[in-house]
Amino acid sequence: MKKYITQSIRLTLVLMVLLCILYPLSIALAGKMSSGNGGGEKITRNGKVIGYALLGQSFTKPEYFWGRPSSVDYNAAGSAGSNKGPSNEDYLKLVSDRIDTLLKYNPGIKKLDIPADMVTASGSGLDPNISEQGAIIQIKRIATIRKIDVRKVAELVVKNTNKPILGLFGPSSVNVLKLNLALDELN
């Protein structure tokens, strides 16, 4: 019995060193070696931080690409989903209102053309990306409001589209903040 207790204490001490000291240090080191030194990719303009590439932001003006809806109003301190399912009447009303808004501001698109990510919030409520299709359905609206050739806006979307990893893993996506900044540079 004493033999097993001694082994258990040794194993506990070894695991404490590995999991409480070495593992967190290795993760912190990896973060420091990444872009942004573990603080995320800050996007600056004129020396001022205007956003982070990995955090969604609210864009509501019609001359900008709109991002994925947020269940936490893009508050990074309160990352969460809505926890409402497809049988919840409030949730269905909210999604229906979002669809109506997209159809109102993007005449010419059909309800079936709207990708799910444009009307449903992500699990974190902070998703900075939209699907490529989510950007494509907004091109005509933005080109019309900004009086820019539709092809230029479409080229901008293509340039800012992140393809799947190795062409296989994950969907194509577009970072909304980076796309809107590139859009501002066009004018």
Task: Convert the pLDDT of each residue in 146-169 to its tens digit.
Answer: 999 999 999 999 999 999 888 788
- pLDDT tens-digit series, residues 94-123: 999 999 999 999 988 999 999 999 999 888
In the chain, the amino acid numbered 112 is: L
Exposure class string for 20-52: b at 16+ Cβ within 10 A, else e: eeeeeeeeeeeeeeeeeeeebeeeeeeeeeebb
Q: How many CB atoms lie within 10 A of CB 9?
A: 10
CB 70 within 8 A of CB 126: yes
Q: At what angle do helices 150-159 and 176-186 cross, to 10 degrees?
A: 140
Q: What's the whole-model pTM score?
A: 0.78
Q: Compute the distance between CA of residue 40 and CA of residue 56 in angstroms, rounded to an integer.
A: 13
